[in-house]
Chain A
Amino acid sequence: MTIPANLRYTGTHEWIRKEADGALTVGITEHAQELLGDLVFVELPGVGKELAKDQEAAIVESVKAASDVYAPVAGKITEVNEAVVKSPELINQDAYAAWLFKIMPSSDADYDALLDAAAYEKACHE
């Protein structure tokens, strides 16, 4: 199972990368794409949308099932990746490159509480 050490994670299988401007880039983990199988549909939030922590932010659907993607922190959507809407299979090909959205957190506290790679790996085995 691939879990890059430089990213943060949630127990609901989102990965989070902190960018230089303070925004957080969010995607679903390799483990999540493997569980879902071939992805065929992605719905992303509107840019500017304000979300609470753990609120539904996006939907990814595979041939098999639909799955919500949650906001890992409270904040405002600043950018979305239209490429994965056009080609959901990009997520299957490289889950850590095919990001879904960027969110500007309203405080630092939520980010600091996210799982690190070791804690996420442990969560996957529970």
Chain B
Amino acid sequence: MEKKTALNAIHRQLGAKMVDFGGWDMPLHYGSQIEEHHAVRNDSGMFDVSHMCAVDLAGPDAKKYLLRLVANNVDKLQNAGKALYSAMLNENGGVIDDLIVYFVEDGCFRIVVNAGTAEKDLLWMNSRQAEWESRVTITPRRDLSIVAVQGPNAKARVWQALPGARAVTESLKPFCAARVGDYFIATTGYTGETGFEITLPSSMVQDFWKKLLDLGVKPAGLGARDTLRLEAGMNLYGQDMDEKVSPLDAGLAWTVDLESARDFVGKAALLAHPQERQFLGLLLLDQNGVLRAHQKVLTASGEGEITSGTFSPTLERSIALARLPFKTAIGETVKVEIRNKQLAAKVVKPCFVRNGKAFV
């Protein structure tokens, strides 16, 4: 039986095409995923991301536990409300999941994990907690829903819907969060645009969604979410990395802290196996095809593979994220095998569009 978010009936009323995503019945689009994409780049769009799971960690050892569990250094979170993107690794250095850690207050953190991996993550987290005898309680918050409101006008629309939230959230820097009554409002997102990710009790989410809808925020589905995150050069778990891939080969070295003396799960494996591949962007130069996951990339220094590919609605050409030979250089022209043809693509930094502007 597929899991449903509290907004499921509303998605159906809005005419969404529903698909299975990690065991959840979720909207792929509400008519045109390209229009939804442009709405987020040019105005505002909203995504039901309640399939992702918020997990609260509370107790005297909460921080100590996270320092060991997560590849990035939670010690970087010095002020309450600050957030950190990172990954949870296994002993071999493979990525169990990528996640965001929020420092809520002393002795209390919230992490948000992916939908399809949530159960596996919780098993892992509980087993670590038991093994390390950490004084921390791990509580999955399935009573909460999450709505991402993204786009240049997203914040203004949220403040219209929640006037009381403005004072507290206006001054928030990127990658921070604040609690406003029942709402946990974060300046995070997965689109490359400004906006909020708002966590709230599921009992309130339908009213909140309808209010935003009346204010002109366009509902957007998983289709637009994927093209937006790809343009922003953000990884998708299960596609760009998984348990068999080192974060160093998945463009996640920046979220891994190997500098400090701190030990964490997977550190020894990462130190023993340095980066072997480059994780970079591809821009299709030929206008006659679409880059897709698992297509072979031919470079001067060997073969690589596309991990995520799509058609970029903003650039109106195809883009991809790819794992390439270590010696691959930005600016190099490579060939991608699409069906029986070899098409030319340019190697670029994996950030194609941010804040409505093209970077390539």
Mark contacts of A46-68 with chain B using CB atoms, 8 A cut-off: 1 yes-contact digit, 0 otherwise.
00000000000001010110100
CA distance A89 to B32 in the complex (A): 10
Is B22 on the interface with A (CB-CB < 8 A)? no
CA distance A103 to B339 in the complex (A): 24
Is A37 on the interface with B (CB-CB < 8 A)? yes
Is B13 on the interface with A (CB-CB < 8 A)? no
B223 touches A37 (CB 8 A): yes
List the A side residues contacting B352 at CB < 8 Å. Answer: none
- Name the prevailing secondary structure of the B interface residues: mixed
Task: Pick from A37, A61, A92: contact of B290, CB below 8 A.
Answer: A61
B290 touches A66 (CB 8 A): yes
Chain B residue with the shortest CB-CB distance to A65: B292
Is A121 on the interface with B (CB-CB < 8 A)? no
List the A side residues contacting B310 at CB < 8 Å. Answer: 63
Query: Least Cβ distance of B158 to chain A in Å?
Result: 27
CA distance A91 to B313 in the complex (A): 17
Chain B residue with the shortest CB-CB distance to A38: B34
List the A side residues contacting B33 at CB < 8 Å. Answer: 37-38, 63
List the A side residues contacting B32 at CB < 8 Å. Answer: 37-38, 92
List the A side residues contacting B292 at CB < 8 Å. Answer: 66
**Contact-residue size bin, chain B (C-beta under 8 Å from the other chain):** 10 to 19
Is A79 on the interface with B (CB-CB < 8 A)? no
Q: List 19 A-B contacts (CB under 8 A).
A: A34-B17, A37-B17, A37-B28, A37-B29, A37-B32, A37-B223, A40-B290, A40-B311, A41-B288, A41-B289, A41-B290, A41-B311, A43-B289, A59-B339, A63-B34, A63-B290, A66-B290, A66-B292, A89-B34
Query: Least Cβ distance of A80 to chain B in Å?
Result: 15
Query: Least Cβ distance of A110 to chain B in Å?
Result: 26
Chain B residue with the shortest CB-CB distance to A41: B290
List the A side residues contacting B290 at CB < 8 Å. Answer: 40-41, 61, 63, 66
Query: Least Cβ distance of A124 to chain B in Å?
Result: 16
Chain B residue with the shortest CB-CB distance to A56: B339
CA distance A66 to B227 in the complex (A): 16
A-B contact count (CB 8 A): 38
Known contacts A37-B29, A37-B33; 15 additional CB pairs below 8 A are A34-B17, A37-B17, A38-B32, A38-B34, A38-B223, A40-B311, A41-B289, A41-B311, A43-B288, A43-B289, A59-B339, A61-B290, A61-B311, A63-B34, A63-B290
List the A side residues contacting B313 at CB < 8 Å. Answer: 63
By a beta-carbon cutoff of 8 Å, the part of chain A in contact with chain B is: 34, 37-38, 40-41, 43, 59, 61, 63-64, 66, 89, 92
CA distance A34 to B16 in the complex (A): 12
Rank and list the top 5 A-B pairs by shortest CB-CB distance, nearest first.
Answer: A40-B311, A38-B34, A61-B290, A63-B311, A38-B33
Instruction: Enumerate B222-247 residues with CB–CB distance to A below 8 Å.
Output: 223, 227
CA distance A92 to B34 in the complex (A): 12
Query: Least Cβ distance of A39 to chain B in Å?
Result: 9
Query: Least Cβ distance of B149 to chain A in Å?
Result: 22
List the A side residues contacting B288 at CB < 8 Å. Answer: 41, 43
A61 touches B227 (CB 8 A): no
List the B side residues contacting A59 at CB < 8 Å. Answer: 339
List the B side residues contacting A66 at CB < 8 Å. Answer: 290, 292, 339
CA distance A33 to B32 in the complex (A): 11
Query: Least Cβ distance of A97 to chain B in Å?
Result: 18
CA distance A43 to B290 in the complex (A): 11
Given A37-B29, A37-B33, A63:B223 Cβ within 8 A:
yes
List the A side residues contacting B311 at CB < 8 Å. Answer: 40-41, 61, 63
Instruction: Enumerate B28-56 residues with CB–CB distance to A below 8 Å.
Output: 28-29, 32-34
CA distance A40 to B34 in the complex (A): 10
CA distance A61 to B313 in the complex (A): 14
CA distance A59 to B34 in the complex (A): 20
List the B side residues contacting A89 at CB < 8 Å. Answer: 34
Instruction: Enumerate B279-301 residues with CB–CB distance to A below 8 Å.
Output: 288-290, 292
Chain B residue with the shortest CB-CB distance to A89: B34
Given A40-B311, A92-B32, A64:B223 Cβ within 8 A:
yes
CA distance A89 to B17 in the complex (A): 18
Chain A residue with the shortest CB-CB distance to B35: A38
CA distance A63 to B339 in the complex (A): 16
List the A side residues contacting B17 at CB < 8 Å. Answer: 34, 37
Query: Least Cβ distance of A45 to chain B in Å?
Result: 14
Query: Least Cβ distance of B333 to chain A in Å?
Result: 21
